[in-house]
Amino acid sequence: MTDPYSSLRTQLELEEWPNVYMFKFIIPNSSEKIALTMELFNDSSDISMHESSSGKFVSITAKELMLDVDSIIKKYEEATKIKGLMAL
């Protein structure tokens, strides 16, 4: 079974950890999807949200101190469980 995150993992392993990592997601504009996405992050995360011009989607950018590559991959794996979420 191939790792869908192998290229990301390789790229991240070039960085030094712990470090601040920026996650970017686009989700359908619904309070449920926004709440589920916000649950991925902790209170110390720097989070910004922007609604699309049509109002159908919301982009969420979150900067969080991550300890290692595996913790970043784990967060992406959790995010993929949110229907309609696109990771950038």
Average pLDDT of every residue of the chain: 95
Minimal CA–CA distance to 71: which of 10, 1, 2, 21?
21
Task: Report pTM.
Answer: 0.91
Q: Are strands 19-28 and 57-66 parallel, antiparallel or unpaired?
A: antiparallel
Give the pLDDT confidence score for residue 2 in this predicted structure: 78
User: What DSSP designation does 56 have?
Assistant: S
Contacting residues for 6 by C-beta, under 8 A, at least 6 apart: none
Taking domain 19-87, whether its CATH number is 3.90.1170.10 is answered by no
Q: Is the pLDDT of residue 87 over 90?
A: yes
Q: What is the pLDDT of residue 1?
A: 67
pLDDT at position 25, please? 97
Domain chopping of the chain, boundaries: 19-87
